[in-house]
Structure formats: C-alpha cells, structure tokens
Amino acid sequence: MTPQLADLFEFLRFPSVSTDSRHAGDVRGCAGWLVAKLSAMGLGAELHDTPGHPVVVARNVHVPGRCTVLIYGHYDVQPVDPLALWTSAPFAPEIRDGKIWARGATDNKGQMLAHLLGVEQTLRDHGDLPVNLIFLFEGEEEIGSPNLAPFLVRHRDALRCDVIAISDTGMVAPGVPTLGYGLRGITCCEAVLRGPAGDLHSGLFGGAVANPATAIGRLIASLHDADGRVAIDGFYDQVRPLENWERRMWSQVPGVGDLEMLETTGCPGLFGEPGYTTAERIWARPTAEVNGLGGGYQGEGSKTVLPAEAFVKLSFRLVPDQDPQDIMAKVTCHLASHCPPGVTLEVTSGHDGKPYVTDPHSRYGRAAQAALRAVFGAEPVLIREGGSIPIVQTFREILGADSLLLGLALADAQIHAPNENFPVANFEAGIRLNQALLQHLASA
C-alpha cells in the first residue's frame, strides 16, 4: 500500500458522522487528525470551534501578486444504516476490485484528501506552491453546513480568494474529465397528518373516521401530475430556461443516456418531466421527491389498525433562479390546500440551499479544463450537477469568488448508501489533478 493510500485509510477509519451526537468525539478527532497532517506538511493549520463541529483552516505563506486559491472539502460523513447491507465494515476500509470501500471513500474524504496530498507532493518536490493556498475543511456539510456561513462572515478578510476549487461532485463516466459549473439548490420539509387520538381498530372504526395513512398517500399524489411535472402552483415560475448550447453539449455527454441510467440505477424504466432528456432532468430541472414515508403497523404479519398519524419527508431540488424560501412557502400552501378532510396537518421546514451556476468559459474555468485535459488526456465535458452543495452559492455571496467543481466520483459510488466506494485510480488522479490545477491557475 502506498503512503497516500495509508493516509486515506487512516482518515476513513474515523466514524465522523455529523448528524449523530454519539459521534461528536469522532468528528472532532477527525478534525484533529487533519490539523496534525497539515501542520506536518509545513502549513499553518488551525482548528476553529463552532457551535457545532469544528472548521479546519490551513494556509501557506502568502506571496503578494500570486493567485489565491481556496480548496474546500468536508470531513463529515453520512450515517451507515442499514448496516446489514454492507459487504465490509463501513469504517474498516478495504480495497477490492480496484476500489476503496468505506463510508466517506468518495463523499468526501477520498476526494478532499487527494487535494491535500497533491499539495504535499508539490511541496516535497519543489519546496513551494505556485499559488497562495487556503484549505477550508468543515465537519457539517452532511447536515447543511449550519455554522459555516457565520464562520465565513467572521473570517471574511482572512479567507479572501480569487477562486475556489471543490471536488465533491462526479464524473459522467470512468476516465471522462468533468468540470461542473452548476448545482441544484434544495429545500426540505416534513409533513405530519394526525387523525384519532390513538390507533383505532380498523373493523370498529374503519369507514367512520379518516385514515391518516390513506390521507398521506393522497397528499403525496397531489405533488405531481400524471406525466411527472410538479403540480404545485407557481413552482416553475422562476426557472431559468436551458441555453441552446447546453442542450447541444449535453446531448453528446457520455454516461447519462437512458441505457446508462437504467444500468446504473437498476430501474425497470425511466420516468420524468416530459420534453427533457435524462441529463437535462437531472442537471437543470427542479424536482419534488419523497425521501421517507411512515405510519401504522410496520411489523411482520397484519395488525388491523387505523394509525393515529402518518408522515412524509420531502425534498425539492431547485435550479437557477428559484429561491428556497419562496418554494417552501408555495409547498406549504399546496400541502394545506390539498390536505384531505378529517386530519390535521403540521409542516416543519428543514435545511435549504440556493442553486448555483457560473460561466465555465471564464479564465479560471479554462484553467481548470486545461488541468483536467492534462491529467486525463481527454477533452473535458462541462455539466451542471444534479446534487446540492448549498455552501457554494454562500461562498460567492460572502467571499465574492466562484467555484470550480472538479468531480472525481462515479455514478456507482454508492454515496449516502451501503457499500460506498471510490476507485483507486480516481484517488491517484485527484492527487495529480491538484498539482496541475494549481499550476494552471497560477498562470491564468
């Protein structure tokens, strides 16, 4: 095993699950490991406490006149449930079939550590970097980065930069260099329908009182029309139309066609908003999705009850120029107006984040494409990402800098799911990409 892989394995062994308070010590321990590693590289590294999990900042000695590059990543990870579906222990990394298997292998420890190790290699080879560098690593991305925006405001001057580099996104296909120039935003909520004071016998009371489980099904069905368009009034009012050049370009991007999507997902068929390709639906159209649903008896066999309540967890992916608060107001109004009779409704808002888009043909965008071309030996494809990194738009608003999204994840990485994995080849390419990127940004 190479020293770089040994570092990654050590990093992956921290169960830094930010959403679970039982792992708060592990999250902090992981941050401490980063500080020690960065300090050993000769960078000035600091651990900053927040009301939640720590932020780690490191920098080299800044030289006037050089481009200042901020590299962002997150060291927190998703929960591992359901544990029984993992082939190997989620925090005991293994290499099988050329891939690293562990929670966080792709999202985001493998990708962010590749940047760190690229800097380490450059310092070892040359004793200096071609740019002024700032590393910014947080431990709360998986819970919506609640404390990072206030941190950016407090440290705005110290974090001033010309451009931001992030590897927390994906490649469209193996070996195809990918530059992301957009992200969908997000807003989330939970709706609870309550009926009787307690569960009722379905024979004695069925047909006389409303069933919250049935009502939640009707409420969910109201979110879309039969063709898959979101049926919330005003939902599409602020959606920025796709540019013709984007549609032409995306029609040529490998790995996102219908057959590839069926193979990746294992679905029997595709379904979505009419009039758009698979890539266009994922990268540039908004959605309404059910993420969780519950109510009534969940055990083996039958228990003939009318449940006292039922719930649904919803998320809405947003595109430029939709506003999360505006969309949540429309969602809340829709749920209230479509709530079936005989039950009460409670809606609780969750985390949100704004969509992001920038010009991939800017001077820094061209520099990123040159770095990708040099490392992968192929012409980069330009995409928007279907996922959300809410802090990216916040970076623009607070620090005044745009972000380069240099994804290394593959579609079958199983992020947020059991058996998360990251190809060794992509990890090693990420180290080389960092070195090429800093060199090209220095001369942009």
Q: Which amino acid is at 3?
A: P
- pLDDT score of 389: 87
Which whole-number Å values give the CA distances from 270 to 196, 264, 265, in the listed order? Answer: 39, 12, 10
Q: How far apart are CA 116 and CA 86, in angstroms?
A: 28
Any long-range contacts for 299-303 (C-beta under 8 Å, 24+ apart)? none
Q: Does domain 3-183+355-442 have CATH number 3.40.630.10?
A: yes
- pLDDT score of 293: 96
- Convert the chain into a string of H (helix), E (strand) and C (coil): CCHHHHHHHHHHCCCCECCCHHHHHHHHHHHHHHHHHHHHCCCEEEEECCCCCCEEEEECCCCCCCCEEEEEEECCECCCCCHHHCCCCCCCCEEECCEEECCCCCCCHHHHHHHHHHHHHHHHHHCCCCCEEEEEEECCHHHCCCCHHHHHHHCCCCCCCCEEEECCCECCCCCCCEEEEEECEEEEEEEEEECCCCCEEHHHHECCECCHHHHHHHHHHCCECCCCCECCCCCCCCCCCCCHHHHHHHCCCCCCCHHHHHHHHCCCCCCCCCCCCHHHHHHHCCEEEEEEEEECCCCCCCCCEECCEEEEEEEEEECCCCCHHHHHHHHHHHHHHCCCCCCEEEEEEEEEECCEECCCCCHHHHHHHHHHHHHHCCCCEEEEECCCCCHHHHHHHHHCCCEEECCCECCCCCCCCCCCEEEHHHHHHHHHHHHHHHHHHHCC
The pair of structure tokens assigned to 362 is 């800017």
User: 66 near 132, Cβ under 8 Å?
Assistant: yes
The pair of structure tokens assigned to 367 is 């520099």
Closest CA to 24 of 171, 172, 133, 140: 140
Residues 6+ apart with CB under 8 A from 306: 195, 196, 199, 200, 201, 202, 205, 206, 209, 211, 212, 213, 296
- pLDDT score of 265: 86
Q: Which amino acid is at 331?
A: V
Please give the class, per CATH, of domain 185-239+286-353. alpha beta
Closest CA to 158 of 59, 248, 245, 80: 59
User: 68 near 162, Cβ under 8 Å?
Assistant: yes
The pair of structure tokens assigned to 212 is 């919250």
Q: How far apart are CA 140 and CA 124, in angstroms?
A: 31
Q: What are 183's strand-pairing partners?
A: 356, 385
The pair of structure tokens assigned to 122 is 């450059």
Phi, psi at 210, each rounded to 5°: -70, 140
User: 34 near 137, Cβ under 8 Å?
Assistant: yes
Domain-wise residue ranges, the chain: 3-183+355-442, 185-239+286-353
The pair of structure tokens assigned to 377 is 């030996």
- pLDDT score of 4: 98
Q: pLDDT for 385-407, tens place per residue? A: 998 888 999 999 999 999 999 99
Q: pLDDT for 53-69, tens place per residue? A: 999 999 999 999 999 99
pLDDT tens-place values along the chain, 444 residues long: 899 999 999 999 999 999 999 999 999 999 999 999 999 999 999 999 999 999 999 999 999 999 999 999 999 999 999 999 999 999 999 999 999 999 999 999 999 999 999 999 999 999 999 999 999 999 999 998 999 999 999 999 999 999 999 999 999 999 999 999 999 999 999 999 999 999 999 999 999 999 999 999 999 999 999 999 999 999 999 999 999 999 999 998 988 888 988 988 899 999 999 999 999 999 999 999 999 999 999 999 999 999 999 999 999 999 999 999 999 999 999 999 999 999 999 999 998 889 999 999 999 999 999 999 999 999 999 999 998 888 999 999 999 999 999 999 998 999 999 999 999 999 999 999 999 999 999 999
200-201 and 132-138 strand pairing: unpaired
- pLDDT score of 337: 98
User: 127 near 442, Cβ under 8 Å?
Assistant: no
Q: Do domains 3-183+355-442 and 185-239+286-353 have the same CATH topology?
A: no
Total-model pTM: 0.87
CA 198 to chain centre: 39
403-405 and 163-166 strand pairing: parallel
